Amino acid sequence: MIQPDTIIRSARKTLSVSIDCFGRVTVRAPMRCATERIFSFLAEKESWIRKKQAEFAAASVVLPADNLQGYTLSILGKTYTVCLYEGTLITMDRDKNRLYVPTKNARKRLVAWLKENAKRIFMEQTARLAERMRVSYKSVAVSTAKSKWGSCSHDDALRYTFRLLYAPSEVVEYVIIHELAHVKHKNHSPLFWAEVAKYAPDYKTRRKWLKNHAALMEIF
């Protein structure tokens, strides 16, 4: 039997259920809806709920504890283990897949390091892909957004959340192509998707990866 993590009652007329990126079940119900009706509704939706929970579980995203020692995170598709040490600089050992982070203010310093590297990498890749796609843009910035992987403003200013750094290189490339395609098409019309497909023929697979790994947005 499905057990809801949260039941929210309000002045609504129908029942609904949602699953967040960690598989938690939230039911929204009318104020006077009987508990028996809620559980009956969940039983009807059980196969769908189990399927969604399995999809999110497959992402294997674990949030960091207060102590980052031993925490693992993916950077451009490669997994690194955080090793705290009494130093002053964050260093990456690609051979041993380790990320050495100063113990003092570890979380704050790691986030700053991630943002700094995300901006450098995204700027380089955007410039390269823009040349290939023959488009120009106003600027590139890195944000802390948790709702969008990337965006393109009306005046062609591009923004990417630094958390995109957690995705594999080909997925990062897709997001950049997606936003650069918006320079030509400020919508999601067939012409827009044709432009994306021209440079990322398997964009649906890459986009699905982002959907299945939405939990990455919660890291830091």
Question: DSSP string covering 68-100, please?
Answer: -TT-EEEETTEEEEEEEESSSS-EEETTTTEEE
Same domain, yes or no: 20 and 113: no
pTM score: 0.80
Q: Kindly report the number of other CB atoms within 10 A of residue 102's CB atom.
A: 16
Residues recorded for the chain: 220
Range of the domain at 100: 72-218
For the chain, the average pLDDT equals 94
Integer-rounded Cα radius of gyration of the chain: 21
pLDDT at 185: 97
104 & 30 share domain: no
**Dist CA 113 CA 2 (whole Å):** 41
> Are 156 and 115 part of one and the same domain?
yes
- Does the residue 66 lie in any domain? no
Eight-class DSSP state of 59: T
Q: Is 65 contained in some domain?
A: no
Domain identity same for 82 and 151: yes
User: Is 28 part of a structural domain of the chain?
Assistant: yes
Q: What is the tally of structural domains in the chain?
A: 2
**141 in a domain, yes or no?**
yes
- On the question of pLDDT at 67 being above 80, the answer is yes
For 111-156, where are the E strands, in sequence order?
Answer: 139-143, 150-152
109 phi/psi in degrees, rounded to 5 = -70, -35
Same domain, 116 and 183: yes
Read off the pLDDT of each residue in 162-183 and give the average, rounded to a whole number. 98
Same-domain status, 139 and 40: no
Q: State the pLDDT confidence band at 215, using cuts at 50, 70 and 90.
A: confident
pLDDT digit string, tens, across residues 34-53: 999 999 999 999 999 998 88
Residue 174 · residue 213 · CB < 8 Å: no
Dihedral angle at the C-alpha atoms of 3, 4, 5, 11, nearest 10 degrees?
Answer: -160
Q: In terms of domains, do 30 and 85 share one? A: no
At residue 77, what is the residue type? G
Could you tell me if residue 110 is inside a domain? Answer: yes
**Quick check: is 64 in a domain?**
no
214, pLDDT greater than 90: no
Assess whether 49 and 86 both reside in one domain.
no
Residue 36 lies in a domain: yes
pLDDT of residue 52: 82
Assess whether 214 and 119 both reside in one domain: yes
83 in the same domain as 53: no
Give yes or no for residue 54 having a pLDDT over 90.
no
Q: Which residue has the tokens 């019309």?
A: 189
Q: Is residue 63 part of a domain?
A: no
Do 136 and 209 share a domain, yes or no?
yes
Question: What's 88's domain CATH number?
Answer: 3.30.2010.10
148-166: average pLDDT:
97
Whether residue 188 is found in the same domain as residue 148:
yes
Please name the amino acid found at residue 110.
L
